[in-house]
Structure 1
Amino acid sequence: MLRLRRHCAGLILAAGLLSPPLGISVWAEGEEDAARASLAELQAQIKSVTNQLDRARNQLSTEQKQLREAERRLGELQQAIGNNREAIRNTEAELASLASRSAELEAARDSQQVRIGTELRAAWQMGQQGTLKVLLNQESPHTVARAMAYYRYFFQARNELVVTYRATLAELATVAARSEAAARQLGEQRAELQSQQEALLASRAEREQAIAALATNIRNKDDELQQLERDREELEQLLESIKQAIVEIELPADYKPFASRKGSMTWPVDARRNNSFGASRGLGGMRWQGINLTADEGSTVRAIHHGRVVFADWLRGSGLLLIVDHGDGYMSLYAHNQSLLKEVGEWVAPGTPVSTVGSSGGLERAALYFEIRKDGKPLDPVAWCR
C-alpha cells in the first residue's frame, strides 16, 4: 500500500480543508453541520481513490513490483544525496568563514599583545617615578591637575585594552570550538555521502535486474502493446480519480488562469524534443499524448504554472510521476523522474523545482515525459510552451 504522504491525489483534499472553496473567505457561522458533511464526503473520496490505486497495484507483475521498489529507492537516495551535498557545501562554507575570522582574531590578538606590552613598560616606568613624587615636583596647581588627568586617562586606556584582549581570546576559543565541531560534522557528512553513493550503486544494479526481468517477461510486440495499453489505462484511471476528487481551493493572489498563459509558458526543462504530439508510436495505432524531452540525468524539472501537487509517486509505465493541478480542469504531468522534490498538497509557482530528470519506469536513457491535460484530455504542449 502506498505511503500516506504520497499515496494518492486525494490527499490534496486534506490540505484543502484548512481553506474554503474559491470565492468564500470564511465559513459562515451556523454552517458547521454542512462543513462536517463536506469533510465526510471528502474523506470518502480519498478512500475511494486509495482503493482504486491499491487495486491497480495488485495487478502489477512481480517484475513490475521489483522495478517500482527499486526506482522508489533510487529516487529517495538521489534526493538524500542532493540534500547531503548541499549540507556539505554549507559546512565547508562555514569552515572557511570560521578560518577567516580566526585569522582576523589572531592578528588582533598579536597586535593587542604588543600594545599591552608597551603599556606595561610605560606603567612600570611611571611606577618607578611614583605618583606622589610627580605631584610634589609640580609647582603649579594647573600642572598637577593635568598630570592627574593624564594618569587617569592612561590607566583607563590600559584597562580597556586588557578587556578587549580578553574578549578577543574568548572569541578565539569559541571560533576554535565551532571549527572543531564543523570539521567533525563535515567528516560525518562525507562518510554518510560515501555510504549513500554505495547504496545508490546497489539500487541501480537492482533496477537493471528488474528491467532485464521485465524485458524477458515481454516476449513479443503484442505483449509490449498490451503492456502499453494497460499503462495508459492506469494513467487514465488515475487522472479520472483525481478529477473526481479535486475540489476548488483558494488560489494565490497573483494567480493567473492557466488558459491565459497559452503559448507563453516555459518548458519544464531545457531539452531537445524527440517526438511530436499525436504522432504514431508504431504499435497498434497508439499515438503520443505528450512530449519526450531528452535531458541529462539529474537536470532540474520546473513547474510550468501555479498549481498544487495532486500526485507524487511511482506509476506503472510512468515511473516516478508528479502531477500538478492548475485549476479549471488543467493539469500538467511530469513522468520518468529520477527523484520527486515535492509532495502531495504542496503549492508550486512557475519555475518551482518539482523533480529531476531520470529514466524511471524502465527507460533506457534519461528523459522527461511531459503532458498537459484539460478535463483529462491531452493537449499539445508545443501550443502552450515556448
Structure 2
Amino acid sequence: MVNGRLTQQHLTTPLVWLITLCLLSTTHWSFSADKIGAAKKDISGIQKQINKIKKKLNKTKKQQHDVTDALKKSETAISHANKTLHKIKQDQKKNKSNLSKLKKQSLTISQRLSSQQEELNKLLYRRYALGNQSYTRLILQSQNPSRISRDLKYQSYIAKAHTRLINGMQSNLNKIKKLDTKTTKTLQRVAELKEKKEGERKALQKQKSEKALVLKKLSKEISAQRGEISKLKRDEKRLSRLVVKLSKRAKKKTPNEPKKKLSSKVVARNQQTPDNRDAGKKFSSLKGKLKLPVKGEVTNRFGRKRQDGGISWKGLFIRAKEGASVKSVASGKVVFAEWMRGFGNLIIVDHGGGYMSLYGNNQTILKNIGEDVSGGDTIAAVGNTGGNKSNGLYYELRKKSIPFDPLKWSSLR
C-alpha cells in the first residue's frame, strides 16, 4: 500500500487466490472451515482498503467542489469581460458614425461659406462699379433728386449687406473651429476606446488561459473520481459474488460485462436560427414552429440516459463553435442570468403561460435579468462553462417547471 492507497498487487493477490478456489470447486469441493475463514478474512481486509479509498474519494469530491467554485469565478469574470468588450465595440461603432456626421456637417458649412464668399464678391463688385462716391459728390453730380435718393439707399444697402456677410462668415468660421475641436475630441475618444478594448482583450486572453488550466484540472479530477467509483463498484460486486460462491459452494459465474456507454452520435443537425416572425403569438401556439437557438449538431436527445450512467437528459446538447450567437427562441423576459453549478453561465427566458426556455454552458451572457427579448435576439455566446469538455449549448424547454422534448416543438432544416 502506497500513501494509504491500495495498490493493484494488494487487490489482485487475494482475488486471484479466491477465484482459483472457485475454479477448483467446479471439479471437487473439499474446503475446510479454516480455509473459508481465511478467505473471508482476506475479503474483510480488501473491504477495509475500499473504505479507505472511499474516504479519499470524499476528499477528492471536496477538492472538486473547490475547483468548481474557482471555475465559477473565472467563467463569470470572462462573461463580464466579454460583455464589456461587446459594449465597447458598440460605442466605437456609434462614435465612428458621429464622426462621419461631423465631417458631413463640416463639408456643408464649408460649401455655405464658399457661397457667401461668392455673394460678397458680387456685392463688392457692385460697390466698386458705383465708384465708391461720397454723399456730397453724388448730390453735386446728379441732376435727378430721385436718383440721388436711390443711389444713397443702394450705398446703405451694400454697406449693411457687407456687414451681415462679414458677420455670417465669422459665425461660420467659429462653427467650423468648434466642429474641428469636437471632431478632434471624438477621434481621441475613439483612440482611447480602442486602447481600452485592446486591454480588455489581453485580460480576456489571460482569463481564458486560467480557465483552460482550471478546466483541465477539473476534468482530471472528475475522470479520476469516476475511475475510482467504477473500480470500487467492480471490486465490491466481485467480492460479493466470491463470498456467495464460497458460502453456497456454487459454481463460478462469469461476471456481467460492464454496460457500454451511450455514444454521443449526432442525432440531428440544425442550420437555421430563430427570428421574430411569430412576435405577439402565444408560446403554446408555436409547437412545431420553433427553431433551435444555435446552429450546430444535436448530440444528445431528450430522455436519453447520460454517458456517466446518471439521470436522463432533460433537454438537448447542441455542439457548436465557441463564441457562436445564441438566439432566444421566442419573445419573453429574462428571469435568470448568472452562473449555476452544472449549467455554467445560464440564462432563462419566461415566455408566459408557464413556458420557459433555458440556455446553459454559455461563454458569455449578453442580457440582464428583467430585459425583454424578441425571438431571434442574441442573448448569449456559446462556450463550455460548467465543466463541459466540448463547446456547445445546453437547451431546455419547460412548462410549469416540467421539462419536455424541444425537438417535438422545433422545425429542423
- Report the TM-score, using the length of structure 1 for normalisation: 0.69
Query: Which stretch of the first structure deviates more once superposed, 190-199 or 116-125?
Result: 116-125
Please tell me whether residue 372 in structure 1 is matched to residue 376 in structure 2.
Answer: no
Query: Distance between the aligned counterparts of 1:220 and 1:377, measured in 2?
Result: 33
Count of residues in correspondence between the two structures: 302
Relative to structure 1, the CA distance from residue 198 to residue 288 in structure 2 (aligned partners, 3 Å threshold; closer, same or farther) is same
SS of residue in 2 equivalent to 1:350: coil
Residue pairs, 1:19-168, within 5 angstroms: 61-113=65-117, 115-116=119-120, 119-120=123-124, 122-123=126-127, 126=130, 128-168=132-172
1:264 paired residue number? 289
Please tell me whether residue 190 in structure 1 is matched to residue 220 in structure 2.
Answer: no
Relative to structure 1, the CA distance from residue 384 to residue 120 in structure 2 (aligned partners, 3 Å threshold; closer, same or farther) is same
Shift of 1:140: 2.7
Relative to structure 1, the CA distance from residue 165 to residue 208 in structure 2 (aligned partners, 3 Å threshold; closer, same or farther) is same
**What one-letter code is carried by the residue in structure 2 that aligns with 1:177?**
T
Query: Distance between the aligned counterparts of 2:160 and 2:307, measured in 1?
Result: 92
Task: Work out whether residues 218 and 224 of structure 1, in 8 Å CA contact, stay in contact via their aligned partners in 2.
Answer: no
What is the aligned-residue RMSD (CA, Å)? Answer: 2.9
Gap runs ≥5 in structure 1: 1-57, 227-253
Query: Distance between the aligned counterparts of 1:93 and 1:350, measured in 2?
Result: 28
The higher radius of gyration belongs to 2
Query: Distance between the aligned counterparts of 1:122 and 1:159, measured in 2?
Result: 15
Please tell me whether residue 180 in structure 1 is matched to residue 184 in structure 2.
Answer: yes
Task: Work out whether residues 279 and 287 of structure 1, in 8 Å CA contact, stay in contact via their aligned partners in 2.
Answer: yes
**What one-letter code is carried by the residue in structure 1 that aligns with 2:392?**
A
The one-character-per-residue Cα deviations of 1:345-383 (angstroms, maximum 9, x if unpaired) are: 333333333222222223344322111012322211122
Task: Work out whether residues 362 and 381 of structure 2, in 8 Å CA contact, stay in contact via their aligned partners in 1.
Answer: yes
From 322, 325, 341, the equivalent of 2:350 is: 325
1:334 paired residue number? 359
- Report the TM-score, using the length of structure 2 for normalisation: 0.65
1:361 paired residue number? 386
Residue pairs, 1:162-311, within 5 angstroms: 162-220=166-224, 222=226, 256-284=281-309, 286-311=311-336
Query: Distance between the aligned counterparts of 1:150 and 1:294, measured in 2?
Result: 84
**What one-letter code is carried by the residue in structure 1 that aligns with 2:401?**
G
1:349 paired residue number? 374
SS of residue in 2 equivalent to 1:274: strand
Gap runs ≥5 in structure 2: 1-61, 231-278
SS of residue in 1 equivalent to 2:339: strand
Higher relative contact order at CA 8 Å, sep ≥6: structure 1 or structure 2? 1
SS of residue in 1 equivalent to 2:300: coil
Shift of 1:333: 0.2
Query: Distance between the aligned counterparts of 1:158 and 1:175, measured in 2?
Result: 26
Query: Distance between the aligned counterparts of 2:192 and 2:142, measured in 1?
Result: 70
Shift of 1:162: 1.6
Query: Distance between the aligned counterparts of 1:319 and 1:171, measured in 2?
Result: 54
Relative to structure 1, the CA distance from residue 338 to residue 219 in structure 2 (aligned partners, 3 Å threshold; closer, same or farther) is closer
Query: Distance between the aligned counterparts of 2:161 and 2:284, measured in 1?
Result: 73
Identity %: 29
**What one-letter code is carried by the residue in structure 2 that aligns with 1:172?**
I
Query: Distance between the aligned counterparts of 1:109 and 1:327, measured in 2?
Result: 59
Query: Which stretch of the first structure deviates more once superposed, 329-338 or 261-270?
Result: 261-270
Shift of 1:216: 1.7
Relative to structure 1, the CA distance from residue 271 to residue 167 in structure 2 (aligned partners, 3 Å threshold; closer, same or farther) is farther
SS of residue in 1 equivalent to 2:290: coil
SS of residue in 2 equivalent to 1:356: strand
1:383 paired residue number? 408
Query: Distance between the aligned counterparts of 1:375 and 1:108, measured in 2?
Result: 66
Shift of 1:257: 3.1
Task: Work out whether residues 277 and 290 of structure 1, in 8 Å CA contact, stay in contact via their aligned partners in 2.
Answer: yes
SS of residue in 2 equivalent to 1:61: helix
